[in-house]
Amino acid sequence: MAILVTGGLGYIGSHTVVELLNNNFEVVIVDDLSNSEKFILKNIEEITGKKPAFYPFDLKRKELLTQVFDAYSIEGCINFAAYKAVGESQEKPIDYYENNLFSLINILQEFKTRGLSNFIFSSSCTVYGQADEMPIDENTPLKMPESVYGKTKQMGEEILIDFAKAYNRKVSLLRYFNPIGAHPSSKLGELPIGVPNNLVPYVMQTAAGIREKLSVWGNDYPTVDGTAVRDYIYVVDLAKAHVAALKRLLSNQSEESTIDIYNLGTGTGSSVLEVVKAFETANNVEVPYKICDRREGDITVAYANANKAEKELNWKSETSLEEALRTTWEWQKYLNSRNN
């Protein structure tokens, strides 16, 4: 019995593959390397001492996907494969819809015809938009996200809910808050292509001198110091939540449809400047920054109520912001050593 992990060489995917292997799951990775690199596979093998099966193809290639399902006895899927750059999604909406939704549907066609269940979907807190109240729990009303990227997440959720209901299958929708950090071995981490959009990769590259200054997008928000607040969750903690969600689906004997939904965050919000300070303290480095205008489409504040995941998955975030940011810096040093 194997777990199909799509996008398994990506940022969250690779950390989850390690946790799955450490929990003795057989893993089959499909990843087209469009936003990941082959050395990550070697590093997964070094960390775990195990060799997951790996197929480098685009999930839109249905005939190749069918061959993987023919070759393995798949008992579940964790679907990370998706484009994820918010800005780019506005410029290339059709590419985003095609990539993120067709690949999902191709896997679900295989699941449907083969009678398979246990599907875990990477969703995002972006499905809540700017929620009226904090913290955000799973009953917080959804708002159609502004970005095409966010819409593909919300549509993906709807597709999976309909799939589960129509065919009595089990699915888990995991709504991540802001994933950060790298593996303690420093062999896995986020590999931004070009100029990073997300805060922590930009902070990391600024500290390393690759970027001159961090632009802090807005200091006139109604928050503790005027900068926007998010819930930064350590990627290894997040990876562990996937294993817990998978085990829950696998042990669920119900013949009925199951739709598990969890917010995965720490429960604590941190402002942009708090993240900058925490990075400086954790790593004893300087992060030069300048205050700029707000970034279009940004919300003021988002942090999770993750009590449901704690109760049902026996999971909670364990790693502090500073510790997560320390692993980020170690990862940058590892990348520097690879480039030298």
- 288 sits near ligand UD1 (criterion: CB under 6 A): no
* Rounded least distance, CB 71 to ligand UD1, Å: 33
DSSP character for 301?
Answer: B
Stretch that binds ligand UD1, among 6-14, 26-34, 56-64, 193-201 (CB under 6 A): 193-201
Stretch that binds ligand UD1, among 28-36, 56-64, 134-142, 208-216 (CB under 6 A): 208-216
Q: What is the 3-state secondary structure (H, E, C) of 145-195?
A: CCCHHHHHHHHHHHHHHHHHHHHCCEEEEEEECEEECCCCCCCCCCCCCCC
Which two three-digit tokens encode residue 218?
Answer: 């807005």
| Sign of the CA dihedral with 287 first, then 292, 296, and 299 last | positive
Q: Which helix (H) or strand (E) holds 18?
A: helix 11-22
Q: Which of 202, 234, 315, 331 binds ligand UD1 (CB under 6 A)?
A: 202
Interactions with ligand UD1, residue window 218-247 (CB under 6 A): 228, 230
- 88 sits near ligand UD1 (criterion: CB under 6 A): no
- 303 sits near ligand UD1 (criterion: CB under 6 A): no
User: How does DSSP assign 246-261, residue by residue?
Assistant: HHHHHH---SS-EEEE
- 317 sits near ligand UD1 (criterion: CB under 6 A): no
The helix/strand/coil state of 303 is: coil
Q: Which of 48, 215, 252, 320 binds ligand UD1 (CB under 6 A)?
A: 215
Please give the Cα distance from 325 to 328 (Å, whole number).
Answer: 5
Please give the Cα distance from 163 to 123 (Å, whole number).
Answer: 16
Classify 339 in phi/psi space as left (phi over 0), alpha (psi -120 to 50) or beta.
alpha
Interactions with ligand UD1, residue window 161-190 (CB under 6 A): 178
- 198 sits near ligand UD1 (criterion: CB under 6 A): yes
Of residues 197 and 252, the one with the C-beta less far from ligand UD1? 197
Mask for 16-55, x = binds ligand UD1 (CB under 6 A):
----------------------------------------
Q: Which of 44, 68, 86, 246 binds ligand UD1 (CB under 6 A)?
A: 86
Catalytic residues: 149
* Rounded least distance, CB 87 to ligand UD1, Å: 7
Please give the Cα distance from 246 to 226 (Å, whole number).
Answer: 39
Of residues 45 and 146, the one with the C-beta less far from ligand UD1? 146
Closest to 124 measured CA to CA, from 80, 94, 161: 80
* Rounded least distance, CB 128 to ligand UD1, Å: 10
Q: Could you tell me how far CA 142 lies from the centroid of its own chain? A: 19
- 297 sits near ligand UD1 (criterion: CB under 6 A): yes
Please give the residue ranges that form the binding site for ligand UD1 (CB under 6 A): 86, 124, 126, 150, 178, 197-199, 202, 214-217, 228, 230, 272, 295, 297-298
